[in-house]
Chain A
Amino acid sequence: MRSDNPYDRSDDNRRRAYGGRDDAPRPGPFDERLDSDPFEWDEVTAPRTQPNTPLRGGRGHDAPCAAAGPGAASDVDVEWERWLPPSGPHGPETLEPAAAEARPRPPARRRPRRGLATAGAALAAMLLGFFLGGLLDADGIIADVKGRPLGTARSIQLALLRPVEGLSGALRLDRPGAALNRLLGRDGGGHHSLAEASSAQKPLWPRAITRAKPLRLYVAGDSMAQVFGSSVVNVAEATGLAKGKLDYHVSSGLSRPDYYDWPQRLIDQIVDYKPDAAVMLFGANDGQNVLYQGRVLKVGSKEWQEVYAKRVGEAMRILTRGGRRVYWVGNPIMRDFGYRKRIAMMNHIYEAEAKKHPGVFFVSTWTALANDKGAYAEYLRDDSGDLVLMRAPDGIHLTRAGGDRMAKVVLDTVYRDWRMSTVASPGAP
């Protein structure tokens, strides 16, 4: 049976387009059956009518069509008359009376099936699903909301979720989730202590770096560290004198330990991986209000800066235990003006804290990714003079070339500090 829809070029095509949910031949391009007959291709693809000939259809109709031009109305209107929904049937009582009269009867369903629902029943199923699912997963949802930036929206969401959490607990519907998390080892156990992190017998620095005993480098941070960190690992490992481990967590930072506990993570990694040196890159998500002793501190305020500096200092203290060297990397210049200002402010805090902690070096990469005029640029020239894309479309993250450029700046400091002069760039400071 041929379709009444003028926009279906053939029944075969229509079935192909809908993935063969009926018993049509397998859909898709480069079809063998069609390919075997070039005329079939023409039939399927060539214009059915030449320019200046009317579209299919015959008699005129007064259905609406904004596009109908002078002398063309009847043809266009016929097309509109035949535009029928592919997934009827549409009960006449659902139509506006006048429109119902004007429209032709809808075609039979492609394949009548049992189990169709009313819109209300589908809505009820969704609401029940969300409500019950919310009760079962109340803890997970609240944990997710708690991780959002502090502010009115978060407070409202938490206030709305509290009763759900209470009901979930009262009905003991929070137990399956807790059991599942225990089963998956996500119940927060198995951490190391700070005392374990400082149990090294002899100082880690200085020592000779050789291929037999390479420098163990731990690179950590937020999403900025994803590309930058792998560049550090790749470039350092290419020398044969270093082994690297990258540890990044997107959307994390130091300003919100309630969302991601970086201090604990650093302790665990130091104990497990036993690095000689650490490269840290934080700040991309830290420009937000922080919760401190029950108060919300506004980002950029004096108190905020003091609290943030304290958290940065704590991370530095953990990392330098046992004489470990730490290279704290400042973020590069960013595209957005307001964001750039916050990043610059945090870079100043890192620099100031690094000066207070022996064994910590602040490495600025601000200008490494700026153009000749000191401004933000997506493209910069590489060593061979070619323009290369350095930044991701968001104006924050890095491309591989950008990561490599930043890594080179940081690793020059590392090599110099560890007296690895054979692999340092010529002319490195």
Chain B
Amino acid sequence: MLFPTITFAIFFLVVYVANWLLMPRLRLWKWTLIAASYVFYGWWDWRLVLLLVGATLVNQALGVQIYRARVSPSSGVAAKRLLIAAVAANLVTLGVFKYFDFFTVNLNDVLGAFGLGAPLPLLQVLLPVGISFLVFRMLTYVIDIYRGELAPAPWLDYAVYTAFFPYLLAGPIARAREFLPQLTSPRDPRAVDAPRAFLLILVGLAKKLLIADYLATNLVNGLFASPQQYSSWETLWGICAYSVQIYCDFSAYSDIAIGISLLLGFELPANFDAPYTARALQDFWRRWHITLSSWLRDYLYIPLGGNRKGRGRTYANLVITFLLGGLWHGAAWTFVLWGGMHGVGLAVERARSDMRRRRGLPEPGRTVGARALQRAAVFAFVSVAWVFFRAESIGSAFAVLWRLVAGLGSIGENVTLTVAGLTVLGVAMQYVPRRLSERCEAGLGRIGWVGQGVLLALALFLIDTLGPPGAAEFLYFKF
């Protein structure tokens, strides 16, 4: 079930009414949320619900056991073993569904190169949509219990946390300690943050249908499929357009997920904060997919030693974290390379910063021009890295980049005024001050439900009429 469809609108209206009517009866309310989430997930393939149920049962059982072992006077080792078992169970699940065939094929190639053995078997199983997000949520739960930062939740609450449909497919990666407290008591039905929710949903729909899908159909898909048909000028725009497309696509999903959660009375963490205004890579990762990057920081970078074991280890930890973060996105070397580029970029940036600090030099970017250059440099680096993220193979990525120099001579006709305008808009919108959106929210709140309804109608009409027929899947579903 895709968000921008009539099917989902009807589904959501039913869930919305049931949510607020049943909320005072907590137990029934939670069962309703679980049922709605299972219907939402099972809409793709009913077998996926079994995975959801299995993940809930196994992680909750292990979480409870870890907690018991933790508080028992003599079983610290047992808690650790249970944690290892829980982490292994989740990673094995992810590995079987997502990475098994990838690593088997590569291992087969290596063994074959040395003339060793028969080919290893492939599983060729269905990849459950959003499994990576699911596994990250499961891991935060058991690890936080082990760390003493979380108590096991009741089964019913945990089942809601596992399956809550707004973030089920593509995040934000809400942590258990952020989400579970919201299940302990009913919200005040007189205090729904509808203005903010409506604004988030409409902006999300517009970003997805009017910008991301248009750029994909009219420039990006063609460029990455047949780069030899595109001039240098078109390639340059195409690379920038993909940067805008992936932002508008993924942040749209997050916006809509946060918006519909707000309407149901839940608050989810923000996932994006104007990432293309970043003046440094470190800054970019504070603004892009915030819940993933903070997850990687807390559950990977810091356990690896973070910046506490010397400069060399810090740089290495950054690279390792981002290599694994890249691999998390998909079972392909292109994602590993993309992650590696960011890891190395962050390490280099940090080394430069350390050097400047040691020499007592001031931080760069003290003038407006210098800051603009920094922003342009970060955008350029990130956009080039996105080429590897988008391309079907490393060779294809280089074929696209090669067109930047090999396609000189003609301008081509693929960069239309609309394509160019939407690409610029996709970047420019990130420079809109936050207070403007807050004013819009406040304004929307002042006009009452009739005004809000009329505005919703106009916006939905414009988005559907101006947008392409049908909605494409969100890019991050496959991760």
* Chain A 107-125 residues near chain B, CB threshold 8 A: 109, 113-125
State A209–B384 Cα separation when bound (angstroms): 38
The answer to whether B442 touches A99, judged by C-beta atoms less than 8 angstroms apart, is no
The answer to whether B6 touches A141, judged by C-beta atoms less than 8 angstroms apart, is yes
Please give the distance in Å from B67's CB to the nearest CB on chain A. Answer: 6
The answer to whether B270 touches A21, judged by C-beta atoms less than 8 angstroms apart, is yes
B12-20, B47-55, B86-94, B240-248 - interface stretch: B12-20
B452: which A residues are within 8 A, CB to CB? Answer: 117, 125, 128-129
Please give the distance in Å from B53's CB to the nearest CB on chain A. Answer: 17
Of chain B, the residue at the smallest CB distance from A399 is: B392
State A133–B396 Cα separation when bound (angstroms): 43
The answer to whether B184 touches A117, judged by C-beta atoms less than 8 angstroms apart, is no
The answer to whether A27 touches B461, judged by C-beta atoms less than 8 angstroms apart, is no
A55 and B151 in contact (CB under 8 A), knowing A28-B273, A45-B298, A80-B184? yes
A83 and B79 in contact (CB under 8 A), knowing A47-B147, A129-B460? no
The answer to whether B458 touches A65, judged by C-beta atoms less than 8 angstroms apart, is no
The answer to whether B449 touches A117, judged by C-beta atoms less than 8 angstroms apart, is yes
Central interface residue in B24, B25, B71, B452, by most chain A CB within 10 Å: B71
Q: Is B178 an interface residue (CB 8 A)?
A: yes
The answer to whether B151 touches A234, judged by C-beta atoms less than 8 angstroms apart, is no
The answer to whether A28 touches B290, judged by C-beta atoms less than 8 angstroms apart, is yes
A41 and B151 in contact (CB under 8 A), knowing A115-B445, A116-B445, A123-B17? no
The answer to whether B465 touches A128, judged by C-beta atoms less than 8 angstroms apart, is no
The answer to whether A91 touches B188, judged by C-beta atoms less than 8 angstroms apart, is yes
A116 and B453 in contact (CB under 8 A), knowing A7-B149, A76-B67, A83-B181? no
Specify which of B80, B149, B184, B307 is in contact with A51 (CB 8 Å cutoff): B80
The answer to whether B24 touches A129, judged by C-beta atoms less than 8 angstroms apart, is no
The answer to whether A116 touches B64, judged by C-beta atoms less than 8 angstroms apart, is no
**Interface residues of chain B: helix, strand, loop or mixed (majority):** helix
Specify which of A18, A377, A399 is in contact with B269 (CB 8 Å cutoff): A18
Please give the distance in Å from B435's CB to the nearest CB on chain A. Answer: 12
Q: Is A67 an interface residue (CB 8 A)?
A: yes
A50: which B residues are within 8 A, CB to CB? Answer: 76, 148
B126-152 near A? 1/0 per residue, CB < 8 Å = 110000000000000000101111111
State A132–B177 Cα separation when bound (angstroms): 40
A142-154 near B? 1/0 per residue, CB < 8 Å = 0110010000000
Interface residues in A, total, Cβ within 8 A = 117
The answer to whether B442 touches A114, judged by C-beta atoms less than 8 angstroms apart, is yes
Q: Is B429 an interface residue (CB 8 A)?
A: no
State A357–B198 Cα separation when bound (angstroms): 56
B residues with CB within 8 A of A: 6, 9, 13, 16-17, 20, 23-26, 60, 63-64, 67-76, 79-80, 101, 105, 108-109, 112, 119, 122, 124, 126-127, 144, 146-156, 175-178, 180-182, 184-195, 197-198, 221-222, 225-226, 228-229, 263, 265, 267, 269-271, 273, 282, 285-287, 290, 293-294, 296-298, 301-302, 306-308, 346, 392-393, 396, 441-442, 444-446, 448-450, 452-458, 460-461, 464-466, 469-470, 478
A67 and B461 in contact (CB under 8 A), knowing A28-B290, A94-B24? no
A131: which B residues are within 8 A, CB to CB? Answer: 457
State A107–B72 Cα separation when bound (angstroms): 33
The answer to whether B148 touches A49, judged by C-beta atoms less than 8 angstroms apart, is yes
State A88–B191 Cα separation when bound (angstroms): 8
The answer to whether A226 touches B150, judged by C-beta atoms less than 8 angstroms apart, is no
